[in-house]
Each structure stands twice: as C-alpha cells, then as structure tokens.
Structure 1
C-alpha cells in the first residue's frame, strides 16, 4: 500500500506510540511512521501490529533508532539497528526505513555507509531512505557532524528523505534539494522551521520554509511516496491543542498536495 499522508509517532511526544495510532485514526491520516524510540512499544513488532490492526491504521515506514537519545536502543552496533529496522518493516508491511547518515565519530560505520545501505536494500527489498540533516551551529560557528555528509543529494543513495525542518536548520533550499534528488526522493517529513540553529519541527506554514510550494512541486512531478507529518507538539499544553496541531498539519498537506485521493 502506498500511503500518502502519514503521521510520525514522534509528533505526539511526550504522549506515546499507542496514542499516535489513536490520533492518526481519529483525525483521518492514511498511515503511521513509527519512530523507534525509548518507548518499548515502538521497539516491538508484535505490539505495533496489534495497534495497527486495532486502529485499522497501517505502518508505511519505520524510522531507525539513530538519534542521540536512541543510541542504545537495540544495542550499540549501528548495522544491527538497521537490520532490525528492516525486519520490523517487513513484519509490519512497511516499504521504507528512514535512516540518518552516521555521526562523524562513528568512523567505521561511516566509511562503509553508502555501499552498506545499497547492500541492505538489495538483501531486504526495503527502501532505506537517507534523510537530509544539517551542520550544527553555535556562536557563529558550524560543525560538520555527519559523514559522508548531511546532504544526501551528494551521494548515490537510491532512496532519500527530505525533512523541511532540517532544511531550515541547514539554511538550504528544499525546493532545490528536491530537484537535485529527483526520482530518488521517496519520503517527505512535512514540517517547518525558521532557519535558526535549532531543529524546530514547526507546524507547516508557521515557519519560513516553502512548504506549500514543495507540496505543489511534488504533486506536479507525480510524486507517489509518503508525506509524513513530523512536528514538535511538546509545548501544545493539552491534548486538544496537540490534536489541533496534528489536524492543521494534515489539512495543510491535503490542501497543497491536491487531487491525490480518489
């Protein structure tokens, strides 16, 4: 199943994975992207399958545990994490694993990353969509912390993810990035940012990114991948306010990526 409008489970934090499935079903999303996190439910295919069945809400993608906060989820060996992510995707019927490029201190992992991702895709049949990241900036200085780099258009990945908040933090143009990626662009994290050094993950339309223009550009190019709302609702305050942000994001996606559902 190709699901166009999905909700990342990260979007409901500090609520948990179970709540994300409930929000997605209630608000009319097509699917869920599971962020494998410190929440034990997000780490277990059997629990996720039960949630998907109960809510009649399929999983379209698995986000591998490659954040700093998840460095010890499923062990510390990075290739093992990706193997388990592919296994989970297979168990759940998802066709994409989202993965970040290695941190520069993961030197051995980084050295074999491009070829290793291609090999994983051949062996598993799952698309490993490498996500755009950003330099870390502070006090007018920037540091390159990802290898072989934060811009996936510079590497021969077969599948990629474009995150608009990351583009804002990198102060890069997501429209140009989408053009460079071409048909290798498989997956979108729909969100927004102001261009600050902080990765903000704003509701689309509340920052400075050309979110509407990107959706229109993708529609015009017959994009048929996943468009996943990945926003920060930690400051929403109430469930009602969080739900309003999630619903606004979905409405934004449908409005600007029009004519996609029969």
Structure 2
C-alpha cells in the first residue's frame, strides 16, 4: 500500500541553497508527496509556486522565528505556503523541561503561540529533541508531562530518533500520546550522538513498530540530519521502506 511521505527540507539544505527548484524536482521524482520547510519565512511564495508546479504539498512548516518578537510574520508566511500546521522546531532548551514549574512556563509559551496561530487558521505544534525525553518528572518523560499541560489544539511532532537518543521506548511513547501526535520525524542510524543517519530500515531504529503505533493520519516526514553516502539515494531507499515497512513484530 502506498504511504504518503514527506521530506523535511533540512535534509537537502545544501542542495536547496545551490538549486532550490532542481532539488524539489528530484524529491518529487523520488515519489515524495510533500515537503516540510525548515524556515517558513524563506520565500514562501516562491517555494509554494514551485511545489504546486511539481505536485508537491507543503504538509507543515517549521520556523525558528516563532519564539522571536514577531510570530505573526511567521503565521503569515505559513498561510502563504498553504499548510495549516506550523511547528516550533527549536529554541526551548534543557532548562525549559527541568521540573514541573519549568514545564508550566513552557506550556504557557506554546499555548499562547497556539492562540496566535489560530487567528490565522493554523494549528501549532512542537518538535522535540532528546532532552525532553532525558528529563523525567515523577518517572515520566518531560515531553509526556508537557503534553498534559498543553491546550488540546497544540499537537506534537515526535522526532523519533531524538526521542530514542533521550532514552525513550518510542513506540510506547507514540502509543501513549495517541492523537496528540500529528507528525513523525523519521530518521535511522546508530542511536548515538553525532552518528551519521542512514536510510530508514538500515539502522537501529524500530521504525516499523513506530509506524504501527502512530495514528493513521500522522504525517510521515523523513529527515536525515547528516548522511555519509548520497543523500538522495538514502531518501529513495527511505521512500521505498515507507511503502513496504518491515514486519513490526
């Protein structure tokens, strides 16, 4: 069964800088249906035009500027891109998850941003790194405690690799979070800080079990932070894996 799949464009950041249109054309040629920009404010009209011409959807969008002084400018850019999902990708560091009081402040920040996003018809999400799972509160991962404090409309984009690096049983986390998970970032490789990433199914991640645990409608977004070999070859192999994942048992 064909599975809709996307690429976070950070994976091909250097290729984009050299030839954006040609890079997007290559992704479409590999069978990807959608892309996720890593900075929504970088020429959203131009990116939308090329994506539309290639039959690519902008499924969601990151912006490092959401925590800055003008989140409305981000929301306007995301609206131009044509997606309804805007995601905080970075900027809330370890101390934002170090204890329940810190988590309340973090949730308040995200809930306030979600109210602003809603004025533009957008839903706000949060993308994790490893420290949200390394930190535990009363025996639970801080990321899961945070979920309890977030407004219902705030969703999570679980970066499965970073969660594993933080010590999480990722299929279990995804199962427990349920419909709060609207997107997955899928990486593979040795689960070690600084390790190069590989095509899905070629490393140590239990990706098939994660996919089986995820809500049916959750976005499947491939992202390779680094890659020792040809990144497009790894993306092609990852796309094939998503079409026919291994038996999750």
After TM superposition, the score normalised by the length of structure 1 is: 0.73
Instruction: Name the counterpart of 2:87.
Output: 98
Instruction: Name the counterpart of 1:59.
Output: 58
Aligned-pair CA distance for 1:233 = 4.7
Instruction: Name the counterpart of 2:49.
Output: 50
2:171 to 172, 175, 188: 175
Coordinate RMSD, CA, aligned: 3.3
Instruction: Name the counterpart of 2:13.
Output: 13
Is contact 1:62–1:94 with CA below 8 Å preserved after alignment?
A: yes
CA separation of 1:111/1:181 partners in 2, compared to 1, >3 Å: closer, same or farther?
closer
Partners of 2:196 and 2:155 lie apart in 1 by: 24
Partners of 1:247 and 1:159 lie apart in 2 by: 28
Aligned-pair CA distance for 1:234 = 4.4
1:248 to 222, 237, 241: 237
Residue 84 (structure 1) aligned with residue 73 (structure 2): yes
Number of aligned residue pairs: give it.
228
Instruction: Name the counterpart of 2:210.
Output: 214
Q: Which runs of 4+ in 1 moved over 6 A?
A: none
Instruction: Name the counterpart of 1:113.
Output: 109
Is contact 1:165–1:199 with CA below 8 Å preserved after alignment?
A: no
After superposition, what is the alpha-carbon deviation per residue over 1:148-200, rounded to whole angstroms, capped at 9, x for unaligned? x5555454253111111111221211111111211111011111243323375
Is contact 2:156–2:180 with CA below 8 Å preserved after alignment?
A: yes
Aligned-pair CA distance for 1:252 = 0.9
Aligned-pair CA distance for 1:80 = 4.0
After TM superposition, the score normalised by the length of structure 2 is: 0.77
After superposition, what is the alpha-carbon deviation per residue over 1:191-249, rounded to whole angstroms, capped at 9, x for unaligned? 1243323375432222222101111233xx5x21311111135432xxxx322111101
Q: Identify unmatched segments of 5+ residues in structure 2.
A: 97-101, 137-141
1:135 to 120, 131, 134: 131
Is contact 1:11–1:230 with CA below 8 Å preserved after alignment?
A: yes
Is contact 1:168–1:194 with CA below 8 Å preserved after alignment?
A: no
Partners of 1:56 and 1:114 lie apart in 2 by: 32
Partners of 1:180 and 1:83 lie apart in 2 by: 32
After superposition, what is the alpha-carbon deviation per residue over 1:94-136, rounded to whole angstroms, capped at 9, x for unaligned? 12112136225789x8474132133134322212121222129
CA separation of 1:227/1:257 partners in 2, compared to 1, >3 Å: closer, same or farther?
farther
Instruction: Name the counterpart of 2:99.
Output: none
CA separation of 1:48/1:198 partners in 2, compared to 1, >3 Å: closer, same or farther?
same
CA separation of 1:167/1:111 partners in 2, compared to 1, >3 Å: closer, same or farther?
closer
